[in-house]
Structure 1
Amino acid sequence: MNRLFTAFSPQSFALPAGILTIIVLMVVPIPAFMLDVFFVFNIALSVAVLMASMNAAKPLDFSSFPSVLLFATLLRLALNVASTRVVLVHGHEGGAAAGHVIEAFGEFLIGGNFAVGLFVFMILMIINLVVITKGAGRVSEVSARFTLDALPGKQMAIDADLAAGLMTAEDAKARRREISTEADFYGSMDGASKFVKGDAVAALLILGVNVIAGFCLGMISHGLTASEAASRYISLSVGDALVAQVPSLLLSIAAAVIVTRVNDTRNLSGQIGGQFASPDIWLPVALILGAIGFIPAMPQRVFLPAAAIAFFIWRKLYKREQLAKAIAAMPAVVPPADPGKITLGEVSDHTLVTVELGYGLVQLVDEKRGAPLVSRITGVRKQLSQTFGFIVPQFRVRDSLDMGPSDYRIILGGVVLGGSQVMVDKVLAIDAGEANPQAHIRGIETRDPSFGCPGYWIDPPLRDMAIAEGYLTVDASTVIATHLNQMMAERAHALLGADEVKTLLEATKVRAAALVETVYPTPLSLAAMTRLLRNLLEDGISIAHPLPILQSIAQAVQITQEHDRIIDMVRADLGGLIVSSICPPNERLPVVTLDSSLEAMISQGLIDPVTGQPLIEPDLARTIGERVASLVAQRGPSASAVAMIVQPRLRRALAHLLRLRAPGCVVMSIAELPETQPVEVICVVGEQPQQPPQLTHQPNAAYPSSPVESMAA
């Protein structure tokens, strides 16, 4: 029943009933009283359309205007037909025979002089047809052309924002619908402007028909003299034309208003009023009008009051502007805090990295004391950004009452990475291996939280003596900043997010737009690019030089879209970059390999059913990790890093293993080792004791091929 009522609601019958009424007006004779009613309705409709066009914030807010213009034009033409019939049939009876509205326009507006009415009608016709309608039609034509030309670019912008994750699918649909409606609107307005032009021409022809036919009918059919026929029929015809021309002029103005609108949050009155509300506009107006008014030949009683009104407007606007500036300069009144209200900032931390301090360390961030910790952390963030190749998100420093007064801790994404104790009024003397073992330093024994070196918290006057004994001395803010740097340097991938990747790609696009467009936003979305670059950072590959990395990614995505295969192909292409980060140029790369039988056992062993990667048994993993860790420890901290070269299938599993047990060893597949890179195999893990632990190399230029071929076998 509800559906039946909705289907037959009065709103659904309003438009068909209106069209049927227009047809009836054209065909069926109506009395003069009904003609007056429809004339008043036509004028009211024209005023309503004009007000709707002026109150629209943007043209699409009145998207039905072309259809409304069509129906209003049809209504006016139907009234012209109906009034022509009444004038020609009953015009000889007098002015009231054609209705009081036509009589009023014929008597009041033109004073009963039909010659004056003809001239007034022609002037209104020229204004409507030549000025308003022609200008609105030209604006509609240009707007439609520009809108259609910009349509592909707007569609591509929507697709790019959707691929970048800047909008949802529903938002994209709404924007596409809005763009389509805008194109249809301006195209319809380009054609609807012809309605107004045709209506003006039709009004001119109807006036001519009424004048000639009425003059002839009055003299032939009703026996009127020439002067009487002209006085009655021509006056009624001119009044009828003016009744129709006034609504036509209003609709022409409405069409011009709607096509010349610029998108704004205000309606047309507010937009114009806001732009004319500057006091700088009205003072020159007042001065110029006053200067003209003092010319002796000018009518001073007109110009001087106009100048006074303009000066009054300037003074009022100037006072209002000064008051607004004074209010803006006043300090904002902070309402008293509601003790029962809890804000989101009190329960949620939107910063990725946070350094929490005990209340005894708050003076390290006190601006009155120079805020040494803030400047240190800023330097750490800048250094990390240069090392990683992207802008590291800002760090947050805050106090915490649930910690000891001298404690601090470093938090990444809500996870506590580490922390320690520092003494603000003392200096940390660190024994980095160069201190005099016979030295006697008076202080509180401790360990450096960053690298675990032994040290002492000493008084500042003993700093010079500690330096002379070979100790490295740092203050409390430097200790915290160094610990923060050491923690973040191992977690570059955790600091890289979608916002940082988007900023990096946009900066690279300035110099290499075509290269960026080959990988982003298609075929790789922002989420896929973020995951890819995070994996590269986790493998120790810096993105400080994005061009070779993007070139490698562009080549890989032409072959496959699988994430793991792209990583392997990019690493193989960036093998020289990986080697250069761990081995100085023109030197042999220290290499650790696995025995062929051990490699075969891992490769043919357990397989992860989810990733398809080999699984290393716990005992074997512990043995390999301890062996490589001891080898790295034997080489010492000053020695260059060691690379383990394995088969491509085993690289990911062994890299995950040694990242935890032997961070000083870089795991590479044999496909990532450059052909021209000299190597020195220092250990073969899993080899029998009687076998030699390293491969010999020939001193000629061909020596790199020997170990590579051996490891490949």
Structure 2
Amino acid sequence: MKILKNSSYLVMIGVIMIVLMLIIPLPTTLLSFLIIINIALALIILLVSLNVTEPLEFSVFPSLLLIMTLFRIGLNVSTTRLILTKGDAGQVIEAFGQFVVSGNIIVGLVVFMILIIVQFIVITKGAERVAEVAARFTLDAMPGKQMSIDADMNAGLIDDREAKRRREKITREADFYGAMDGASKFVKGDAIASMIIVAINLLVGMVIGVVQQSMSLASAAQTFSLLSVGDGIVSQIPALLISTATGIIVTRSSSENNMGKEVSDQLLAFPVLMIIAGSVIFLLGLTPIGMVATLPIALLLVAGGILIRRYRQNEQKVGAEDQDRKAEETFKSQENVMGLLTMDPIEFEFGYALVPLADSSQGGDLLDRIVMIRRQLALELGLVLPIVRIRDNIQLEPNSYQIKINGSEVANGQLMLDHYLAMSPGVDDPSIHGIETTEPAFGLKALWIDEETKDRAELTGYTVVDPPSVVSTHLTEVLRQHAWELVGRQETKQLIDHLKEQSPALVDAVTPDPLSIGDIQKVLVHLLKEKLSIRNLPVIFETLADYAQMTRDSSLLTEYVRQALSRQITEQMTREGEALKVLTLSPDLERKVSDSVQKTEHGNFLALDGPTTSQVLKNLSDSVTKWPDMESDPVILCSPAVRMYVRQLIERYFPNVQVLSYNELETNVEVQSIGVLNAA
């Protein structure tokens, strides 16, 4: 509606009119109209405060409270002007005065004073104190709430938008309760001003009536007391309504329902108590109070309690039947069957004896460690891994755990929570005794030792780690090795969208033409499969933009990207001050590999004969067994033309052997050949 669209102008006009009321005299008819508007607005504010589910839904209340207070003061000034000048303040004030006074001025003054005391001492004082405490506690709780939001976002439970929305809500709550703390002072000041205005109207009016208008003292007292009390009550009724609304707002806690629904649900939640209360009231009627007043109330409470109890029992019965029916329908429905097809990308299952690892109440910090693992791998691989689903599995051995990728087990292990895992430095110490085992992440021989042996093992050079560190290291290595399996088209789309925020022109040059999301995904999978980080997406996309016009073969594009990432590969494969130890291919083997490449419409493939393949793999196995550097994976160095085919040849049998080309190493790298791989 047009009026609602221009509501901002109406508010500005209204404030200006209130200010003019303080200066310009108003006719009695208009004043009566404005008094009724004041009462109506106060009633609306009270009803709104009763129906909001949380205080922030009425965040404009502090400012509205100031405007309404100013409006009442403007009305008081106008009515005072009319009372003292004309002895008439309109029909509304006169009607209120006659109705309340009822021919007795003292009764009218007492009623007015009671209204003032209730508002000033009971409601306003309480609302002011509650607003002050709420503001203080809200400000004190802000840092903790902010940290909780950051923790949820780091754990992947919420995204950036939800985190921003929650932070804004916390800021708004602090601003609201701070404003309410100050706005409650308006109500307090308004109550004091009302008492002073009524006293002025009564005393000064009587003086004016006797001195200036030649009225008798009794007549002046009758006239001006009627008008003063009527004016005071007319102003105090809306003031009392708004004071009540203030108290309701500051004492209201967040809920899913409005106040009326909450009161009825909670107050009538125990119908048996209504029956007990009705019985007590009935017994009270046996005293001199009599049954006339107590019996109807007792019957009402007992009957209401019985009816509500029966209604609740029937409701619970119907609810249970509906729940069973819905559960049966859900079980039979197609959607329920489809829900069974949903598979978690990463699962970590453990036996019941390992529950303390994940239970924070028992000191377990596995959840926090997994958050740090995801952050570490995001920095290392350039990929945000899915949330790890953690659950206990009674079908496993009590001390066992298993790691699943896309529903299939890829790794498992066993832990002893009351022991430590000790790995030998290379020379075993006979004095260190324990339960022999294998370190799950790297397959090293190790011992489970007790607390008493731990210190002695550390002094003799053993690497000693606790069970949570063992499983964290194992999980990190498994996720690092299988990260390529977790990159689908959806994850690729998310990476592209993130890059597009920074380099939109670069992304537009690559996708959707000439490369689709699926083409880009294949390149990223190839890189991750060979343990290369895809964090440097700008360089990857620059290379794809340069070469995608010539070919869409993902394997060939991967070779171009690897060469563009030569600095990254060099830093990853070399250690400062040491030569890079490699195995090289004999010229005869390189020639055979090159001649065995078959070119098809779907890409190029290596078709090396069986005897040659077996001999190459046997020679490589012997070289890997004798590899001198146990801290790094074996490396094969070959020409760029055959690198990807050599990788195809060995990746199934030797996934940890790195295959590099000369173009993937920086020119300043010192290379040391420690063997030649041949086909003979």
Same fold (TM over 0.5): yes
Partner of 2:443: 581
How far 1:351 sits from its partner (Å)?
Answer: 2.9
Partner of 1:12: 8
Partner of 2:178: 187
292 and 273 in structure 1: CA distance in 2 versus 1, 3 angstrom threshold: same
Give yes or no for the alignment of 1:212 onto 2:237: no
Q: Counterparts in 2 of 1:127-526, with a 5 A limit?
A: 127-278=118-269, 279-295=271-287, 297-330=288-321, 332-333=324-325, 343=335, 345-346=337-338, 349-351=341-343, 385=350, 510-511=363-364, 516=369, 519=372
Partner of 2:661: none
Give yes or no for the alignment of 1:112 onto 2:103: yes
Tell me the distance in 2 between the aligned counterparts of 1:658 and 1:504: 42
Q: Any idea what the Cα deviations from partners look like across 1:335-392, whole Å, max 9, x if unmatched?
A: 9999xx9648449821369xxxxxxxxxxxxxxxxxxxxxxxxxxx99x7469x999x
Tell me the distance in 2 between the aligned counterparts of 1:629 and 1:533: 36
Give yes or no for the alignment of 1:32 onto 2:28: yes
Give yes or no for the alignment of 1:609 onto 2:601: no
1:350 maps to amino acid = T
Tell me the distance in 1 between the aligned counterparts of 2:635 and 2:350: 27
Tell me the distance in 2 between the aligned counterparts of 1:320 and 1:59: 32
Contact 2:149 2:166 in 1 (8 A): yes
Partner of 2:432: none
Tell me the distance in 1 between the aligned counterparts of 2:377 and 2:442: 28
6 and 152 in structure 1: CA distance in 2 versus 1, 3 angstrom threshold: farther
- Could you say what secondary structure the match of 2:22 adopts? helix
606 and 584 in structure 1: CA distance in 2 versus 1, 3 angstrom threshold: farther
Partner of 2:494: none
Tell me the distance in 2 between the aligned counterparts of 1:523 and 1:20: 60
Instruction: Among all aligned residue pairs of Structure 1 and Structure 2, give the percentage whose two residues are the same amino acid.
Output: 31
Contact 1:43 1:247 in 2 (8 A): yes
266 and 329 in structure 1: CA distance in 2 versus 1, 3 angstrom threshold: closer
Q: Choose 1 or 2 for highest CA Rg.
A: 1
1:281 maps to amino acid = L
How far 1:144 sits from its partner (Å)?
Answer: 0.6
33 and 579 in structure 1: CA distance in 2 versus 1, 3 angstrom threshold: closer
How far 1:619 sits from its partner (Å)?
Answer: 4.8
Contact 1:537 1:543 in 2 (8 A): no
Q: Counterparts in 2 of 1:625-664, with a 5 A limit?
A: 626=614, 644-646=627-629, 650-651=633-634, 661-662=652-653
Tell me the distance in 2 between the aligned counterparts of 1:239 and 1:135: 27
Match of 1:68 among 56, 64, 70: 64
273 and 333 in structure 1: CA distance in 2 versus 1, 3 angstrom threshold: same
Tell me the distance in 2 between the aligned counterparts of 1:314 and 1:337: 35
Partner of 2:74: 78
Partner of 2:46: 50
Partner of 1:448: none
Tell me the distance in 1 between the aligned counterparts of 2:282 and 2:177: 45
1:250 maps to amino acid = L
How far 1:651 sits from its partner (Å)?
Answer: 3.7
5+ residue gaps, structure 2, are 390-402, 422-437, 448-459, 461-558, 574-583, 595-605, 638-645, 659-673
How far 1:213 sits from its partner (Å)?
Answer: 0.7
Tell me the distance in 2 between the aligned counterparts of 1:242 and 1:646: 95
Partner of 1:400: none
Partner of 1:440: none
Match of 2:93 among 94, 102, 107: 102
1:166 maps to amino acid = L
- Could you say what secondary structure the match of 1:330 adopts? helix
Contact 1:643 1:666 in 2 (8 A): no
How far 1:326 sits from its partner (Å)?
Answer: 2.2
- Could you say what secondary structure the match of 1:27 adopts? coil
Contact 1:83 1:240 in 2 (8 A): yes
Contact 1:128 1:249 in 2 (8 A): yes
524 and 298 in structure 1: CA distance in 2 versus 1, 3 angstrom threshold: farther
Contact 2:18 2:70 in 1 (8 A): yes
513 and 330 in structure 1: CA distance in 2 versus 1, 3 angstrom threshold: closer
Contact 1:137 1:190 in 2 (8 A): yes
Tell me the distance in 2 between the aligned counterparts of 1:32 and 1:7: 28
How far 1:163 sits from its partner (Å)?
Answer: 2.6
- Could you say what secondary structure the match of 1:212 adopts? helix
Partner of 2:537: none
649 and 89 in structure 1: CA distance in 2 versus 1, 3 angstrom threshold: same
Tell me the distance in 1 between the aligned counterparts of 2:96 and 2:373: 69
What is the aligned residue count?
Answer: 473
Partner of 1:450: none
Contact 2:108 2:229 in 1 (8 A): yes
Tell me the distance in 2 between the aligned counterparts of 1:82 and 1:58: 37
36 and 211 in structure 1: CA distance in 2 versus 1, 3 angstrom threshold: same
Tell me the distance in 1 between the aligned counterparts of 2:69 and 2:143: 34
1:349 maps to amino acid = L
Tell me the distance in 2 between the aligned counterparts of 1:8 and 1:333: 47
2:209 maps to amino acid = G
Q: Any idea what the Cα deviations from partners look like across 1:428-473, whole Å, max 9, x if unmatched?
A: xxxxxxxxxxxxxxxxxxxxxxxxxxxxxxxxxxxxxxxxxxxxxx
How far 1:161 sits from its partner (Å)?
Answer: 2.1
How far 1:153 sits from its partner (Å)?
Answer: 1.6
Tell me the distance in 1 between the aligned counterparts of 2:647 and 2:340: 33
Contact 1:624 1:685 in 2 (8 A): no
- Could you say what secondary structure the match of 1:131 adopts? helix
Contact 1:643 1:667 in 2 (8 A): no
Partner of 2:37: 41
TM-score by length of 2: 0.59
521 and 235 in structure 1: CA distance in 2 versus 1, 3 angstrom threshold: farther
Tell me the distance in 2 between the aligned counterparts of 1:214 and 1:607: 95
1:64 maps to amino acid = V
2:176 maps to amino acid = F
TM-score by length of 1: 0.56
How far 1:133 sits from its partner (Å)?
Answer: 0.4
Contact 1:625 1:662 in 2 (8 A): no
Tell me the distance in 2 between the aligned counterparts of 1:232 and 1:7: 42
How far 1:519 sits from its partner (Å)?
Answer: 3.9
89 and 511 in structure 1: CA distance in 2 versus 1, 3 angstrom threshold: same
5+ residue gaps, structure 1, are 92-96, 354-380, 392-502, 552-575, 587-604, 635-640, 669-683, 689-713
653 and 329 in structure 1: CA distance in 2 versus 1, 3 angstrom threshold: farther
How far 1:314 sits from its partner (Å)?
Answer: 0.6
Contact 1:644 1:667 in 2 (8 A): no
Contact 1:144 1:183 in 2 (8 A): yes
Contact 2:413 2:440 in 1 (8 A): no
Partner of 2:450: none
Tell me the distance in 2 between the aligned counterparts of 1:73 and 1:200: 10
1:510 maps to amino acid = G
How far 1:287 sits from its partner (Å)?
Answer: 1.3
Tell me the distance in 2 between the aligned counterparts of 1:531 and 1:52: 44
- Could you say what secondary structure the match of 1:223 adopts? coil
Tell me the distance in 1 between the aligned counterparts of 2:165 and 2:53: 18
347 and 190 in structure 1: CA distance in 2 versus 1, 3 angstrom threshold: closer
